[in-house]
Structure 1
Amino acid sequence: MNQSSSTKIRVIVTGATGMVGEGVLHECLNHPQVEAVLIVNRKPSGFSHAKLTEVIHNDFFDLTAIEQQLVGYNACYFCLGVSSVGMKEPEYTTVTYDLTLNFAKTLSRLNSDMTFTYVSGAHTDSTEKGSSMWARVKGKTENHLARLPFKQEFNFRPGLMKAAPDAQKTPKLYKYLEWLYPFLHLLFPNSSCLLSEVGQAMINVTLHGFDKNILEVSDIVAVAHN
């Protein structure tokens, strides 16, 4: 797909109350080709903008009550996710695979011309057979999302991400370790990127497409600057 610079898109962002979702939302709100943004959260985000509509919905396993509000969008940037630390595989599968697939299936039914982009993780296991539980579950999620009838479906695998200095949702641990980012990026350039680059890359693959549906850090950075 190759769209002109005059193309306008309408996007849905999930996870805006978290670090990644906030960063992606910020890029969408400031991009001239994004004309409207819908965020779907379990609790109010605290954000306000002329382009922004917010829907508060507690049960992502049953979207019946808000389906009509999800119609008419060109893209979904799915940034909702949880850490697997302390979780057993069945529990992690429920909140990662089942929840994501339910949301995605609903959108694919409501919006035939949609690009769906899923924030996965570096070292996700596409074989679904490795020793790492979270990587298997993420791999299963990626594989099944790719089978849904979206116009385009992409899986982003960012590594370490650096948020903007004025970000509100950055975890304290990230803030404490921010000073390390330039050194880590210098040593491992293909393992880290700016969160702004993740958001820009999502918009660019929506507008212009990409030749593969799994984007590692180097792909994300390259697409962000195209």
Structure 2
Amino acid sequence: MTHGKTALIAGASGLVGNKLLHELLQGQEYKKVYSLVRSPSGIEHAKLTEVVCNFDKLEDVEEYFSVDDVFCCLGTTIKKAKSKEAMYKVDVEYPLAIAELAKKNNVQHFSIISSMNANANSILWYPKMKGILENKLTAISFRSISIMRPSLLLGERKEFRLGEAIASKIFTAISFLLKESWKSRLAINAETVARAMFYLSQIDKQGVGVYTANEIKNMSSLMDKK
């Protein structure tokens, strides 16, 4: 693994993003971490520089994209966004803008959280949106790109999401009945996803990698063996 690298993360206030930021700051692999935020988070660390920005004008902070690895953990809900158009902006347009600036600045590895059922041809809005995002991202010729397709994310969010809360309780109630391989297919801990994203950014791989929940879980476990 390479030491002394630099990274940029977007979405560090989210469930996975917060866990990933912790990994980036606590590990020895990175000497500097830039976090794109709309407003200061209050997190302080010697390695961390928070870049307060307008995501509609990311070109204004392009100087911070001269890094080795970029991690995109952006995402919202229709309830919070208020409309499909606003949700599409956060889940598709912003990640694409980040990816394009990353490519322009010769970033070596781009990592992003997608969705388990991402499919550009889906009749359902959310998986179709994520599928469109994946197709557009893979058209950008990064040396290495990692697309994470986790199942239901488990963890304590800052914002309450009724649907996820109900699904999480159901999963917890029946998990003892499931085989280990099925548990990850239904739900996965946010920290597990973050650790897998971190792991993938430290190995020498090229091309596009799309990772299922079980693959994410397996890669996360490799972090303990590094």
Task: Report the TM-score range of the alignment, normalised by the length of the smaller protein.
Answer: 0.7 to 0.9
User: Which contiguous aligned blocks of 4+ residues in structure 1 show a shift greater than 6 angstroms?
Assistant: 174-179
Q: 1:28 and 1:181 mapped to 2: Cα distance?
A: 30
- Name which of 57, 60, 63 aligns with 1:68: 63
Q: Which residue pairs with 2:49 in the alignment?
A: 53
User: Which deviates more, 74-83 or 95-104?
Assistant: 95-104
- Name which of 175, 189, 192 aligns with 2:187: 192
Q: 1:183 and 1:210 mapped to 2: Cα distance?
A: 40
Q: Which residue pairs with 1:221 in the alignment?
A: 217
- Name which of 80, 103, 106 aligns with 1:108: 103
- Name which of 108, 126, 131 aligns with 1:134: 126
CA contact (8 A) 1:162 1:181 kept: no
Tell me how far 1:79 sits from its aligned partner: 0.5
TM-score by length of 2: 0.82
Q: 1:32 and 1:16 mapped to 2: Cα distance?
A: 19
- Name which of 20, 23, 36 aligns with 1:24: 20
* Structure 2 gap segments, 5+ residues each: none
CA contact (8 A) 1:11 1:74 kept: yes
SS at match of 1:68: helix
Q: 1:154 and 1:74 mapped to 2: Cα distance?
A: 14
- Name which of 47, 62, 77 aligns with 1:83: 77
* Structure 1 gap segments, 5+ residues each: none
After superposition, the Cα gap between the structure-2 partners of 1:211 and 1:197, relative to the gap in structure 1 and judged at 3 Å, is farther
**Letter paired with 2:158:** T
Tell me how far 1:171 sits from its aligned partner: 2.9
After superposition, the Cα gap between the structure-2 partners of 1:180 and 1:8, relative to the gap in structure 1 and judged at 3 Å, is farther
What is the CA RMSD across the aligned residues, in angstroms? 2.5
Percent of aligned positions that are identical: 22
**Letter paired with 2:139:** R
TM-score by length of 1: 0.82
How many aligned residue pairs are there? 213
Tell me how far 1:113 sits from its aligned partner: 4.0
Task: Please list the CA deviations of residues 149-205 of structure 1 after superposition, one character each: whole Å capped at 9, or x if unmatched.
Answer: 211111111122233xxx6x5334589666666445543412222222211111111
